[in-house]
Amino acid sequence: MEQVGAVVDRSGRVKRTYEKYGWVILAASAGLGVVAALMTTLPPISWFWDPLFESTYSIMGALGVALVAFNILALVVILVPYRRNERWAWFTLWMLPLQWISQFLLLPQVPYLILAVLTAVGLVLPFRRFFSGSREEPSRVR
């Protein structure tokens, strides 16, 4: 019997579409994180000559650069080891919802909370793919 929206992988296990393309949600979240961080890093031109923002820009710029680097690292983890179904990548990417929650706590705006929930859903959807009982984890100790 053929299932709609399902693909059979190499091991013979039925792989549902949401499991196969769940990484897209995470990549979109990290991409939006890069855009949000760039908006933090690159202030409006008026900040450069306004004495009010003279000391604030260095803090915001440093935070923005750190968030850009974090999200680029998350994109690399999503596009390489996560798509290879490596468990450590799944655990590591829980930092993305935590990032959105921390931004929500610092600046309480609903879009940050929505992105945190969507990113968590993107991690929960392919749970079976990473933690199926049939998959054997190779031993790292010889």
11 within domain boundaries: no
Strands (E), the chain: 6-8, 14-16
137 within domain boundaries: no
39 within domain boundaries: yes
Name the domain count of the chain.
1
138 within domain boundaries: no
Determine the average pLDDT of the residues in 76-86: 89
Global confidence as pTM: 0.69
Tell which wins on pLDDT, 29 or 2. Answer: 29
80 within domain boundaries: yes
Range of the domain at 59: 16-130
Split at pLDDT 50, 70, 90, the class of 1 is very low
Q: In this structure, how many other beta carbons lie within 10 angstroms of the beta carbon of residue 16?
A: 17
8 within domain boundaries: no
DSSP alpha helix (H) spans, 23-109: 23-41, 56-77, 87-92, 95-106
6 within domain boundaries: no
